[in-house]
């Protein structure tokens, strides 16, 4: 479980205890950022080793944003994200083994190997899906908020999306509906400056993305996504507002340290940009700050790295040893309600009774 | 049994299901204050209030997606797409999301959603408002598609669709709303995925769905009188899954088949029906399966052009006679040469 | 031709001439409003007489808006509208006979009877279509502006849309693209207060629709659509801005005096609303004002009504006597470039060689 | 003749057409700075500048519609939909507008637009990114749909598409981009609406398009060696219009047919092909037309499941042998029982 989750349970404290708790929280933030960083690095390696397939988008550079946002959610709140969601899955408290197993496409994966990197889902931890279609999660998240409102529940939905996603129609339709119906939802723009290779300036006529909330009379704000504390506080405020039935638009400004996906060399980046990014790393920045403030020291950092290394290695081992889904399960998830005449035919099977020659095995409609 | 219109059957069933289950609610454009473009939801806003009968902004993708998200959390939304033409704007949410969520996440969340929408044509609505694109949904695994042709099926299939845990495209038809028929009083849902032999016969199998199943019944009765023909009518009722067994069984008996459809011929619903018959009843078929469908043009507004482009009763009759002639069946002299409409 | 079109050609004038010209223009506006009013009333009658079919949406109540907007366009500017476009077609200078003939679905109609009420198109008068899909015209109009920009032309595109249309994704995508690329286009929201029966308040989280321009850093304004002069001036300013490559969003506030379409009894309207509308009629308001200002008098009004009555009656007669399209033309407009194996089959025709019995006539693939 | 990849043929043809005609320009997501998700447009931004190679925001409906509007004014946009899955978000603009404008306005404005987009599967991209929905476009009058299977056709059909005055959906395939072949140096466009017999034969007609036409050729060659079979291969090349004459002609000669397709079986492209053969070659067909297609499930991410769901070479080979066995053709003993993949 993410360290910050433990913090959530701490009761009101006396001042001295409080400052100690604060240090605990700051270290927890750092530790969680390290967990995401190392997990993603391990995933990148597994991809190059062909243990992971398809598209694989990493949270490298977004660790502070992810930690700050997720630490503000109640366990009962719901989360919808885009396809760049490994870190979010970890921070929602999903076992890293199951997250890595999903990347490997194994039966113990959070989506049983059916979703892969882009499509992690876990109802108990209320991660209602990473989604591969740009903008696809927004109407869904709006509908989840509608269901909460319909039942008079007190949960809130958080829906993250990328900067590039603010240009798509679903963004407009969803924010308008959410604001019109006063739904408990926070839309979070993770502004990492790029679509795939397209900058915000080239994609959005209003580059200060949070200002788009105005078109829906929706309260909005922008926060520094390299600062997990500031992000946590901004998210807490947004969630509080949404819980009162006033949807909120939060823009979290961050960076994407690597290519769009594992296979993207990001050649479109200028030398200066590449150079700049070397020195703009939320993990370094936050770690240095905490060290300067005496909250962290080399030993503590080493200990954290060691703990995390153990988790990540264990996750990779677990994933590697988890079985591949059996071909016999291919037709298990087409329909939730079984239906007459459903096609359960493999490509090699004829529509009607097999002909004399040895016919392939498998189900038959 | 009560005699009522197709519209009434839909309205009453929606109302009954909303009374039965608090999780059932309606969303769509102009379904509340306006009472629905075709008045299916008339009176329901007054009775159930805005929470259960929700007028949406004009945002097909947005409100369809919202319904899907609500369904993921266990509600049972029944949404109305004003006509199936407009559902194209929500296609990404329906096909890339509603139809994928159960499988893509390994069966963790289902999407109990009903999308009610009328197809049709023949109302001079022009090229963009006269399309029959149920094919787009019938083609997609994860979707279920039903198409009632009469009030009784409208009720039974709507009951089944609302109580089903998967996304169901419920195809209605502008030309059927005012048609009447007997409707059973009990609440027995139909079985999705099953076709029905609505008229037994030996000479030829006439296949249709929605408005065309209605026309098929009419044509069969007429030809029994005029030509003394004994035509078996199969109402597909479900386009996905498609009930090949019932269709093929019928053709194995009649040895001839004609498919009536309101959509375009090439790649239309009838293509799969014809291909399946030609395969499953290969050794029984005495003539090629004939398809009667819409002319392959953007539908013109002008009445004479629209009429020419739409399959008519006479087109169906000629196709049947030509097919029977090809199998060597003797139509009564009287019956020859019905003028082409 | 619309009377105001004549005005456009008048050269710079001496003050006295100028004030006379102004009166001429005001009377021209009034006369054009009367033309739209009577034309639409005639169309409604023809619909009840089953001479017009399909959907038929009228500009009743929007006459001042239509006249004010259209009088600001250059003849070379392009216009895209929604399906409620009869008045726009007339004001672009299209022969009323051809507009009515289209409603009747005859060969002399502006779209040769293929489009009907919702789909009027005339390249010479640069009406690039009424469109029946809500929001469908916005991306198209944006593309037309792109083509102008691509060729370095000086024309501007005007794209009208209804208040209800601001909720759809295409609105957002189009305005963002137009602003991002500095295209010469003016988006005009005709705010008549209703979608079909849904009010702006129930459809838009930002009911002051023109403010949505802010989400694209697009200049925007709202104007009284009952005042043709104010509308004309607001449109002129918007077009001037767009001609400089700065797209503009103009909201014209007006009323829909009748139902959504000819067949809609508008029962959803409250008694007060119905009562109010009796006294809110742009034709009455503007006519009264001009009379008070001495620009109009009963004789002039009578003369205008008489001229217009003649035009409208002639249009109906022309339409009624224009031939229906021949069924042999059914396959003429599927493709602009003829193509091998195109299906030219009537519903009654078999796919392959006809069988013994008398087969229907017509083309054969 | 020059030997080059399918990707190179597309790239060079785009470049040549842009040099030939100033009205030709490119629009799409990430086609410029990023050089295209699959690098078809690599280098073109540098050469032609932002006016001719336009990166768009992520707004499929918006930029597709903008291309249509620009085409109405006489430009000749060639847009890229990153994959055919995302084209669903632009479906309203493509089907309700691009395909309707010429007819709906009585032939006053044409839409010379090319929509390039790859289909495919087999890359573990999951349920939403592995669909083959060319059917949605092939079904619609007013659209033209072409699907080259080799570099030479990629060039000739792209030339034809760009010079055509109607909207053309140009289907590419992820698995074909790196395949090589001879490409003629001259600029002769192919004829849209025509299939090609890419391999003459007497025993059976094997039909495919795009990647499956490529596979068909491979399978035919292999079975010639292993089983001494003489298989005729028909590459559809154009899905709309569909060249029924060429297909039926071939089957009248071979008396047997197998269709290979990458989309789902029920209602897929193969349904129309099978129905047309069963009709047009009714008296010649000695066995049912067999279709080999994708399993009807939301495509899973896990490799073994994806592999099982996709039609394989062995599936094609088994289908051919079973069909020939059914018509009484004797395959060499050696050939029996290729294990099912
Ligand atoms: C509808 C749709 N269009 C295009 C794509 C291809 N695509 C995948 S990610 C991406 C860029 C998204 O950028 P952003 O929203 O900023 O998210 P980020 O990747 O930066 O997290 C694009 C264009 C897609 N998946 N879906
Ligand atoms: C995409 C789409 N959805 C729904 C409709 C049905 N419809 C036709 S007009 C209309 C209301 C439009 O209202 P508004 O934009 O204000 O335009 P107005 O009719 O007031 O001019 C609706 C919902 C449609 N034609 N297209
Ligand atoms: Mg981004
Ligand atoms: Mg309106």
pLDDT higher at C18 or A153: A153
Phi/psi for A236 (5° steps) reads -60, -45
Q: Which residues of C touch A216 (CB under 8 A)?
A: 205-206
In angstroms, what CA-CA distances link D5 with B234, C11, D198, D262?
50, 64, 19, 21
Closest residue on chain D to A330 (Cα): D305
Choice among A37-46, B6-15, C109-118, D331-340 with the minimum mean pLDDT: D331-340
Which residue from D186, D141, D189 is spatially nearest to D166, judged by alpha carbons?
D141
pLDDT of residue C353: 77
The ligand 2 atom at the shortest distance from the C-alpha of residue C135 is 1
Q: Exposed, middle or buried by CB within 10 Å (0-12, 13-18, 19+), for A71?
A: buried
Above 50 in pLDDT, residue A364?
A: no
pLDDT in tens, B213-255: 999 999 999 999 999 999 999 999 999 999 999 999 999 999 9
Above 90 in pLDDT, residue A323?
A: yes
Give mean pLDDT, residues B72-91: 98
DSSP code of residue A164: G
- Alpha-carbon distance D25 to D18, whole Å? 7
Q: Detail the DSSP E strand segments found in A54-126.
A: 78-82
Residues A196/D86, Cβ–Cβ less than 8 Å: no
Above 60 in pLDDT, residue D313?
A: yes
Residues 6+ apart with CB under 8 A from D214: D149, D150, D176, D179, D208
CB contact under 8 A, A167 and D341: no
pLDDT in tens, D31-41: 999 999 999 99
A278 pLDDT band (50/70/90 cuts)?
confident
Share of chain A above pLDDT 90, in %: 90
Residues B14/B40, Cβ–Cβ less than 8 Å: yes
Give mean pLDDT, residues A29-39: 98
Residues A326/A307, Cβ–Cβ less than 8 Å: no
Q: How long, in residues, is chain D?
A: 341
pLDDT in tens, D48-68: 999 999 999 999 999 999 999
pLDDT in tens, C291-346: 999 999 999 999 999 999 999 999 999 999 999 999 999 999 999 999 999 999 99
- Alpha-carbon distance A86 to A105, whole Å? 14
Closest residue on chain C to A135 (Cα): C169
Q: How long, in residues, is chain C?
A: 365
Give mean pLDDT, residues C163-187: 98
Give the neighbours of chain D: at least 3 Cβ pairs within 8 Å.
A, B, C
Give mean pLDDT, residues C233-244: 98
Average pLDDT across chain A, whole number: 94
Above 70 in pLDDT, residue B331?
A: no
Choice among A317-326, B113-122, B318-327, C347-356 with the minimum mean pLDDT: C347-356
pLDDT of residue A13: 53
Above 60 in pLDDT, residue C13?
A: no
Above 90 in pLDDT, residue A11?
A: no
The count of C-alpha atoms lying within 13 angstroms of the C-alpha of D112, restricted to the half-sphere facing its C-beta, is 18
CB contact under 8 A, C215 and A214: yes
Above 80 in pLDDT, residue A362?
A: no
In angstroms, what CA-CA distances link D205 with A37, A277, B279, C341, D273?
55, 58, 16, 20, 12
C358 pLDDT band (50/70/90 cuts)?
very low
Share of chain B above pLDDT 90, in %: 95
The count of C-alpha atoms lying within 13 angstroms of the C-alpha of A65, restricted to the half-sphere facing its C-beta, is 27
Give the neighbours of chain A: at least 3 Cβ pairs within 8 Å.
B, C, D
pLDDT higher at A13 or C144: C144
pLDDT of residue C14: 66
Give mean pLDDT, residues D230-243: 98
Residues D220/D198, Cβ–Cβ less than 8 Å: no
Q: Is B129 a catalytic residue?
A: yes
Give mean pLDDT, residues D187-191: 97
C354 pLDDT band (50/70/90 cuts)?
low
C238 pLDDT band (50/70/90 cuts)?
very high
CB < 8 Å from B in window 138-177 of A: 138-148, 150, 169-170, 173-174, 176-177
CB < 8 Å from B in window 242-271 of D: 242, 263-264, 266-271
Query: Mapping DSSP to helix (H, G, I), strand (E, B) and coil, where does residue C351 land?
Result: coil
Instruction: Enter the pTM of the model.
Output: 0.96
Residues C46/C262, Cβ–Cβ less than 8 Å: no
pLDDT of residue B181: 98
pLDDT of residue B334: 42
Closest residue on chain B to C263 (Cα): B37
In whole angstroms, how large is the CA radius of gyration of chain A? Answer: 22
Beta-ladder partners of D259:
D207, D291
- Alpha-carbon distance B209 to B132, whole Å? 12
D329 pLDDT band (50/70/90 cuts)?
confident
CB < 8 Å from D in window 114-133 of C: 114-115, 119, 121-123, 128-129, 131, 133
pLDDT of residue C16: 86
Q: What's the CA-to-centroid distance between B125 and ligand 2, angstroms?
A: 14
Q: Is omega for the bond preceding B300 within 30 degrees of 0, making it cis?
A: no
Residues A67/A234, Cβ–Cβ less than 8 Å: no
pLDDT of residue B289: 98
pLDDT of residue B336: 46
Largest CA distance in chain D: 64
pLDDT in tens, A239-255: 999 999 999 999 999 99
- Alpha-carbon distance D285 to A236, whole Å? 70
Residues 6+ apart with CB under 8 A from C107: C101, C113, C322, C323, C324, C325
Ligand nearest to the CA of residue A132, numbered in listed order: 1
CB contact under 8 A, D106 and C115: yes
In angstroms, what CA-CA distances link A340 with A365, B72, C40, C269?
9, 24, 54, 47
Tell me if A195 CB under 6 Å of ligand 1.
yes
Run of H or E including B264: strand B257-264
Above 70 in pLDDT, residue A198?
A: yes
ipTM above 0.85, yes or no: yes
In angstroms, what CA-CA distances link B120 with B9, B129, B172, B262, C174?
19, 9, 8, 8, 31
3-state helix, strand and coil shares in percent for chain B, rounded to the nearest 5: 40, 20, 40
Beta-ladder partners of B235:
B196, B208
D121 pLDDT band (50/70/90 cuts)?
confident
CB contact under 8 A, B302 and C114: yes
Above 50 in pLDDT, residue D112?
A: yes
The ligand 2 atom at the shortest distance from the C-alpha of residue C84 is 21
Give mean pLDDT, residues B33-37: 97
pLDDT in tens, A329-339: 999 999 999 99
Tell me if B86 CB under 6 Å of ligand 2.
yes
Phi/psi for D159 (5° steps) reads -60, -45
B329 pLDDT band (50/70/90 cuts)?
confident
Give the Cα-Cα-Cα angle D18, D19, D23 (nearest 5 degrees). Answer: 50
* Catalytic member of B29, B60, B80, B134: B60
Number of C/D CB contacts below 8 angstroms equals 176
Tell me if A196 CB under 6 Å of ligand 1.
yes
Ligand nearest to the CA of residue C131, numbered in listed order: 2
Tell me if A165 CB under 6 Å of ligand 1.
yes
Distance from CA of C121 to the nearest CA of B (A): 14
Residue B339: other Cβ atoms inside 10 A: 8
Q: Detail the DSSP E strand segments found in A165-213.
A: 185-191
- Alpha-carbon distance A87 to A80, whole Å? 13
Q: What are the helix (H) ranges across B117-210?
A: 134-138, 151-163
Run of H or E including B182: strand B180-183
Q: Is omega for the bond preceding A103 within 30 degrees of 0, making it cis?
A: no
Above 90 in pLDDT, residue D89?
A: yes
pLDDT of residue B121: 80
Closest residue on chain A to B58 (Cα): A173
Handedness of CA A55, A61, A67, A68 (dihedral sign): negative
B339 pLDDT band (50/70/90 cuts)?
very low
Handedness of CA B118, B124, B126, B131 (dihedral sign): positive
Above 60 in pLDDT, residue C5?
A: no
Q: How long, in residues, is chain B?
A: 341
3-state helix, strand and coil shares in percent for chain A, rounded to the nearest 5: 45, 10, 45
- Alpha-carbon distance D61 to C173, whole Å? 8
Q: What's the CA-to-centroid distance between A245 and ligand 3, angstroms?
A: 28
pLDDT of residue A353: 77
pLDDT of residue C2: 64
CB contact under 8 A, B70 and A340: no
CA C241 to chain centre: 22
Give mean pLDDT, residues A174-202: 98
Above 80 in pLDDT, residue D336?
A: no
Q: Which residues of B touch C323 (CB under 8 A)?
A: none
Residues B239/B209, Cβ–Cβ less than 8 Å: yes
pLDDT of residue A363: 39
């Amino acid at each position: 479980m993410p360290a910050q989750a433990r913090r959530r349970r701490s009761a009101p404290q006396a001042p001295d205890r409080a400052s100690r708790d604060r240090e605990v929280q700051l270290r927890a933030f750092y530790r969680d950022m390290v967990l995401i960083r190392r997990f993603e690095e391990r995933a990148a390696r597994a991809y190059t080793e062909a243990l992971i397939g398809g598209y694989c988008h990493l949270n490298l550079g977004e660790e502070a944003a992810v930690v700050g946002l997720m630490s503000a959610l109640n366990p009962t709140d719901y989360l919808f994200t885009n396809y760049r969601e490994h870190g979010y899955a970890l921070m929602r408290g999903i076992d890293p083994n199951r997250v890595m197993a999903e990347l490997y496409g194994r039966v113990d994966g959070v989506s049983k190997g059916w979703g892969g990197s882009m499509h992690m889902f876990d109802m108990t931890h209320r991660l209602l899906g990473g989604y591969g279609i740009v903008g696809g999660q927004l109407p869904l998240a709006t509908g989840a908020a509608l269901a909460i409102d319909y039942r008079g529940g007190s949960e809130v939905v958080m829906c993250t999306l990328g900067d590039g996603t603010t240009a798509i129609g679903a963004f407009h339709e969803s924010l308008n509906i959410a604001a019109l119906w006063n739904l408990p939802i926070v839309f979070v723009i993770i502004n990492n400056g790029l679509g795939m290779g397209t900058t915000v300036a080239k994609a959005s006529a209003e580059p200060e993305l949070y200002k788009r909330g105005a078109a829906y009379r929706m309260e909005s704000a922008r926060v520094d996504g390299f600062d997990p504390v500031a992000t946590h506080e901004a998210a807490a405020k947004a969630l509080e507002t949404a819980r009162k039935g006033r949807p909120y638009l939060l823009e979290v400004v961050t960076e994407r340290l690597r290519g769009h996906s594992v296979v993207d060399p990001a050649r479109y980046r200028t030398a200066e940009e590449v150079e700049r990014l070397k020195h703009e790393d939320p993990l370094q920045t936050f770690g240095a700050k905490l060290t300067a403030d005496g909250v962290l020291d080399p030993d503590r950092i080493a200990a954290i790295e060691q703990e995390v290394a153990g988790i990540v290695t264990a996750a990779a081992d677990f994933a590697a040893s988890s079985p591949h889904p059996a071909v016999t399960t291919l037709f298990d998830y087409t329909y939730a309600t079984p239906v007459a005449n459903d096609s359960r035919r493999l490509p090699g099977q004829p529509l009607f009774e097999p002909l004399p020659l040895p016919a392939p095995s498998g189900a038959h409609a | 049994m009560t005699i009522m219109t197709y519209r009434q059957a839909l309205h009453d069933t929606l109302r009954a299901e909303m009374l039965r289950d608090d999780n059932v609610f309606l969303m769509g454009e102009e379904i509340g204050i306006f009472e629905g473009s075709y008045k299916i939801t008339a009176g329901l806003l007054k009775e159930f209030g805005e929470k259960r009968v929700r007028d949406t902004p004009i945002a097909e993708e947005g409100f369809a997606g919202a319904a899907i998200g609500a369904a993921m959390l266990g509600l049972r939304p029944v949404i109305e797409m004003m006509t199936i033409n407009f559902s194209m704007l929500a296609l990404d949410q329906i096909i890339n999301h509603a139809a994928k969520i159960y499988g893509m996440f390994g069966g963790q969340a289902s999407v109990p959603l009903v999308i009610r929408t009328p197809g049709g044509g023949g109302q001079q609505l022009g090229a963009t408002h006269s399309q029959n694109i149920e094919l787009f949904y019938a083609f997609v695994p994860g979707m279920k598609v039903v198409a009632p042709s009469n009030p009784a099926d409208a009720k039974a299939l709507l009951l089944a669709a609302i109580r089903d845990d998967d996304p169901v495209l419920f195809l209605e038809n502008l030309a059927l709303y005012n048609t009447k028929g007997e409707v059973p009083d009990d609440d027995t849902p139909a079985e999705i995925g099953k076709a029905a032999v609505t008229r037994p016969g030996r000479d030829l199998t006439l296949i249709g769905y929605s408005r065309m199943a209605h026309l098929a019944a009419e044509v069969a009765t007429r030809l029994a009188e005029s030509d003394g023909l004994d035509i078996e009518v199969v109402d597909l009722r479900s386009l996905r899954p498609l009930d090949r067994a019932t269709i093929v069984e019928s053709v194995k008996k009649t040895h001839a088949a004609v498919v009536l459809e309101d959509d375009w011929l090439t790649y239309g619903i009838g293509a799969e029906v014809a291909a399946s018959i030609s395969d499953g009843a290969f050794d029984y078929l005495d003539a090629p399966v004939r398809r009667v469908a819409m002319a392959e043009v953007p539908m013109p507004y002008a009445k004479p052009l629209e009429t020419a482009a739409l399959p008519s009763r006479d087109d169906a009759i000629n196709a049947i006679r030509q097919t029977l002639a090809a199998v060597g069946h003797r139509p009564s002299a009287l019956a020859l040469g019905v003028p082409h409409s």
